[in-house]
Amino acid sequence: MALLFPILLASLRAIGVAVTVIFAGILATRFKVLTPQEHSCMSKLSMKVAMPALVFSRILYCNQCADREDCPRCAPFSEIISSSWILFLLPLVVVALGTSLGRAVAELAPSNFRRGAICAVAFGNSTGMPVVLLTVVSQSMTAFGNGPIGHTDPLLHLPAYLMLYPVLQWGIGTWLLTPTADEEITLTIPPPSKCGLKEPRIRGIWCGGEDAFPLGPCRQALQHALVPPVVAALAGLLVALSPFRGILVDLAGQANDAPLEWLYDGIFKLGDAAVPLNLLLLGSSLSQGADLEALPLRVGMAITFCKMVVMPLLMSFIVYGLIRLVERKDPAMWLVALIVTCTPTANNVGIMAHLGGQSVESMATAIFIQYIFAPMLIAMSLTYFMWLLSCEWYLPTSSV
């Protein structure tokens, strides 16, 4: 129980960072600084520019800390995959479990949000919040002295999880949110955007003309799956496995002086904008408060319960089995495997819902309800995870 207080502070700090930016989005919308037209433009900028930059840059990331004595070595990408390969494949398990739970919740959801409910449970915040949680928890455990992860940095393992996850989130998520044949008939084509970007047509075809023709099943699936963040993730994987990574990022000296480091730094800065941009958009959607007419409270509570209680609990059993299938017993790696399952719905799922024709108000309300309970539920999950990782019956220490 002595670990409870630092873990509680870590979760509250992570939630506080997100809530601060969300509140700024609420105020900006209330004072007409952020209008509906600007909201639409920012959504497209997030999906087409900021999110791809975030995914691409984080896959290639190497800490440039040559001036520090405790600077961790920047491992080759092949070594990252070989040492944390289970995290590379784990998104398949997480998304499959979340989709299964989401389908159960979808039975309770309104007809215009059933596909959105599945995505709300299936896709959690895997970048901004886990980074803050892992950083603060690691620091707290190190300061505490004998914490189960005090000897290593769990953030070194997070990139392995983020290699495949964006591909699944944007690929499967976009496919799940694609209107069915019956729904396509009732959808209306949105008016031309005032920001100069082309609007998506009913069948997910990006075009500016009036005549849109149906694509074949294979081409249509690719059209839905190969959205910009997925393309960026695939490009990041290819670059990371090639010598070109060393041209963009200083892997040897870690002194920030690779030939094209300036280009990578620019992409990294664009990626930095993704999290606050998505949180501002979330705040804008929440500016009118929770819309319990768009999403009944019982559905919002069901999403919160499945996403932030049932899913972490079930994943703790799955991780227990995985620990016994692989040789690597590093507690920090398994903390990453657990912590990515207890966060609220990813902010960019709201953008995906908007582009997929789902109720934006329902998604915003679902996320709003999750954030209300997040401090308590995340603190409980983290305490539960740390207790498990400190138990010999759950994570044997003899093979660490």
Query: Is 267's pLDDT higher than 90?
Result: yes
Residue 202's pLDDT band (cuts 50, 70, 90): very low
267 within a domain of the structure (yes/no): yes
64 within a domain of the structure (yes/no): yes
190 within a domain of the structure (yes/no): no
Residue 358's CB is within 10 A of a number of other CB atoms, namely: 25
Name the most confidently modeled range: 190-194, 318-322, 351-355, 394-398. 318-322
Choose the weakest-confidence range: 11-25, 95-109, 357-371. Answer: 11-25
Total domain count for the chain?
A: 1
Report the distance separating Cα 155 and Cα 336, nearest Å: 8
Share of the chain above pLDDT 70, in %: 75
Three-class HEC string of the chain: CCCHHHHHHHHHHHHHHHHHHHHHHHHHHHCCCCCHHHHHHHHHHHHHHHHHHHHHHHHHCCCCCCCCCCCCCCCCHHHHHHHCHHHHHHHHHHHHHHHHHHHHHHCCCCHHHHHHHHHHHHCECCCHHHHHHHHHHHHHHHHHCCCCCCCCCHHHCHHHHHHHHHHHHHHHHHHHCCCCHHHHHHCCCCCCCCCCCCCECCCCCECCCCCCCCCCHHHHHHHHHCCHHHHHHHHHHHHHCCCCHHHHCCCCCCCCCCCCHHHHHHHHHHHHCHHHHHHHHHHHHCCCCCCCCCCCHHHHHHHHHHHHHHHHHHHHHHHHHHHCCCCCCCHHHHHHHHHCCCCCECCHHHHHHHHCCCCHHHHHHHHHHHHHHHHHHHHHHHHHHHHHHCCCCCCCCCCC
pLDDT tens for 42-76 read: 888 887 898 788 878 878 888 788 777 777 777 77
Distant-in-sequence, close-in-space partners of 5: CB < 8 Å, separation ≥ 6 = none
135 within a domain of the structure (yes/no): yes
* Boundaries of domain holding 138: 4-183+216-389
CA 372 to chain centre: 19
24 within a domain of the structure (yes/no): yes
Query: Is 206's pLDDT higher than 50?
Result: no
The pLDDT of 229-253, averaged and rounded, is 85
Query: Is 321's pLDDT higher than 50?
Result: yes
Report the distance separating Cα 303 and Cα 339, nearest Å: 18
191 within a domain of the structure (yes/no): no
The pLDDT of 294-300, averaged and rounded, is 90
Q: What tokens appear for 282 in the block? A: 């979330």
Query: Is 317's pLDDT higher than 90?
Result: yes
Report the distance separating Cα 338 and Cα 333, nearest Å: 9
More confident position, 132 or 275: 275
Choose the weakest-confidence range: 221-225, 281-285, 376-380, 393-397. Answer: 221-225
Nearest to 154, CA basis, from 105, 103, 56, 87: 87
274 within a domain of the structure (yes/no): yes
pLDDT tens for 151-166 read: 556 766 777 787 788 7
Q: What tokens appear for 159 in the block? A: 């990139």
188 within a domain of the structure (yes/no): no
CA 307 to chain centre: 13
Residue 258 · residue 250 · CB < 8 Å: yes
Report the distance separating Cα 94 and Cα 214, nearest Å: 33
Report the distance separating Cα 337 and Cα 385, nearest Å: 10
pLDDT score, position 379: 81
Residue 34 · residue 21 · CB < 8 Å: no
- For residue 251, the domain's CATH number is 1.20.1530.20
Residue 361 · residue 285 · CB < 8 Å: yes
The pLDDT of 319-347, averaged and rounded, is 87
Ramachandran sector of residue 198 (left: φ over 0; alpha: ψ -120 to 50; beta: rest): beta
The alpha carbon torsion through 197, 199, 204, 208 (nearest 10 deg) reads: -80
pLDDT tens for 177-189 read: 776 555 544 444 4
The pLDDT of 305-333, averaged and rounded, is 90
Name the most confidently modeled range: 105-119, 196-210, 356-370. 105-119
